[in-house]
Homo-oligomer: A and B are copies of this chain.
């Protein structure tokens, strides 16, 4: 077995102390000289024509430095579907739509200025129900389109209709999944400043600095070559920053008009009303199996509500297709999806990106099928898992795959056998459920480039700077990259400085999403470090008079293999290379774009260069009197290729589980007639640390052939199977199956009531 020095080590996050003690400077903490405060005036109506905007009183308010409306912008559209402008000039399409904006010397003045802007609306008939929206006489939300249907997609492999006929058993369910918000603790933030020569710098809570540079250029018609994006320190993003939204170009335009830097930060209420959330879905799903335990067919129809505008989040349908088509071996599969416009809130990417939704459907139906054929649900799953180096009918090329091991380990640890001998105590009923997941773990090519670049520079003290395109959003990727470079160069990771958040400094990266950072940024850092190693060895050869082939970098030294006493310190080699005639400093760079494919609307192709797998077994306690579901114990086993830092893998799993439990049991943005009814953290309830059950993270290592040191991604996986496992555990506890999320006490009680009336 290979011995690693730094790979696989539990190195704490160096910023953990700073975060815990409030020393980190987040976006909201930023101040620059002459900075103004920006505020956005939002539509109170879900659908209306704008007849007139009068900003004259706001402009006259002392302290107001800029007031802008749609007419200040060039006639350009932006967004995934190029369906929106930063401020709306013709009509508004949702409650919260941006109508005007102001920049003033302080927040109070900006707020007051908003109140002085008079907007005359002509209300239009709204449409909130996605099925209604598809009807021919529905109000058209984007008048340049033929209908409110944004996109129709069909994925098919095998012959699903025949499969449904052939299957020994078929189960069928209707699912309703609601709005969930990414809810990072810091709300949306943007600070825009033009320098006197006209160059723009934008500090943003984005997760996609380089695409934001492109999107701002496109939306505002300013050259991308004059835009610099700096991602602010981020505690957590969870997908919130995966698109450019209106507030960023608005902030830039306020700064341009005011001729001063402008800061724009959402209030928490604004975040709930105007930031993006997970798109609601209605799902009709059928699955069929053979009595011998073979999964035979899946047939799914999705109706996705984009809200008023379309974002990258609409691509979650592709992820749905992957779970349906490839989580297990299944000879026949079909996913038909319609994604539609409504006058509801805008939606976007949330951690898991379609996978928690699809896994909820697929993995609850796995339990239903197992029951229908009278097989243990674990055994049924094991019967149908994919194995390493299998290509699925969808074109997914699985490399390393520990799904079987994850299922077995999760079941073993939670005590799967206890499932059969359940005890009841008073009104409490306990149950155990399991669910598996497959997640992209080697990038996800949703853009022409899925690559990341890195530059590695070594100074005279052996201090190593890694400039990586990949940004840190709280997941710990900085240390992962440092550990990879440390391993190659044989130096302590604390000698490594990571520079990662500035488009002017680092080579390109597509952004933080799809659990891709360890795999792709890690690999590009590996390549850059290998180039540096080559330079180091070149000089060490001369110093030690030994061929590079016989040298290794270890513990801060270049050592002659087999003669540990013949060695020279790393920093001495650096200086020997530098301080001499014809000397050189050490710089290397690397680039990695994984061998994966851009997947079309048909859902076919190998979207990722590797796949992560996992299984969660969850024990819950249901109070049949109150309907309250209490998660007691979660075992979450994941195939991550190799854990570069097991502590962070566990952190990602634990965070994912807690977020998954929120999705399963608590979190829902309540939207009625296009209005968010619970836009506060008192009413939109997140799990706190005190609510978290015991979580046991299990790492299954499989050593992926393509990943850096065998690693695959893990960022999202932990959150995917939770809702399904919880639903399966509830069924195990009380025999009722709930197919809409979150599973609130009211839904449990209603289901129990129906169960009782059914029994009568």
**A residues adjacent to B (C-beta < 8 A):** 14-15, 17-18, 21, 23, 25, 29, 31-34, 195-197, 199, 210, 213-214, 217, 223-228, 448-449, 451, 453, 455, 457, 459-463, 465, 467, 494-495, 497, 499, 503-508, 571, 578-585, 587, 589, 591, 593
Task: Name the distance in Å between A478's Cβ and chain B's nearest Cβ.
Answer: 12
Copies of this chain in the oligomer: 2
Known A195-B14, A196-B21, A589-B589: A503·B459 in contact at CB below 8 Å: yes
Determine if B451 and A225 form an interchain contact, defined as CB atoms under 8 angstroms apart: no
Instruction: Choose among A494, A508, A583, A585 the residue with the greatest number of B CB atoms under 10 Å from its CB.
Output: A585
8 new A-B contacts, CB < 8 A, other than A448-B580, A499-B504, are A18-B195, A18-B196, A21-B196, A210-B459, A213-B459, A223-B461, A455-B457, A507-B587
Query: What are 19 A-B residue pairs whose CB atoms fall within 8 Å in the complex?
Result: A14-B195, A15-B196, A15-B197, A23-B195, A224-B461, A224-B463, A225-B461, A225-B495, A226-B494, A449-B579, A451-B585, A455-B457, A457-B505, A459-B508, A460-B508, A465-B505, A497-B504, A587-B589, A587-B591
Most chain B C-beta atoms within 10 Å of own C-beta, residue among A226, A451, A505, A508: A508
Nearest residue (CB) in B for A587 is B589
Which of A29, A455, A578, A587: most chain B Cβ within 10 A?
A: A587
Question: For the complex, what is the distance from the CA of A503 to the CA of B197, rounded to whole Å?
Answer: 26
Across the interface, name the chain B residue whose C-beta is closest to A586: B507
Kindly list the 10 A-B residue pairs having the minimum CB-CB distance in the complex, ordered from nearest: A224-B461, A17-B196, A225-B463, A14-B197, A448-B579, A225-B461, A587-B589, A453-B585, A18-B196, A225-B495
Closest approach, in angstroms, between the C-beta of A532 and any C-beta of chain B?
A: 12
Q: Is the interface of A mostly helix, strand, loop or mixed?
A: loop
Contacts of A461 in B (CB 8 A): 213-214, 217, 223-225, 227
Residues of B within 8 A of A585 (CB): 451, 453, 507-508, 591
**Inter-subunit contact B455/A587 (CB<8 Å):** yes
Kindly list chain B residues whose C-beta atoms are within 8 Å of the C-beta of A29: 33
* CA distance in complex: A465, B494 (Å): 27
Most buried by B among A226, A227, A507: A507
CB of A467 within 8 A of CB of B505, answer yes
The answer for the CA separation of A583 and B449 in the assembled complex, in Å, is: 8
User: Chain B contacts of A34 at CB under 8 A?
Assistant: 23
- Complex Cα distance, B246 from A378, in Å, reads 70
A576 to chain B, nearest CB (A): 11
Chain B residue nearest to A461 in the complex (CB): B224
* Chain B residues with CB under 8 A of A457: 455, 505-507
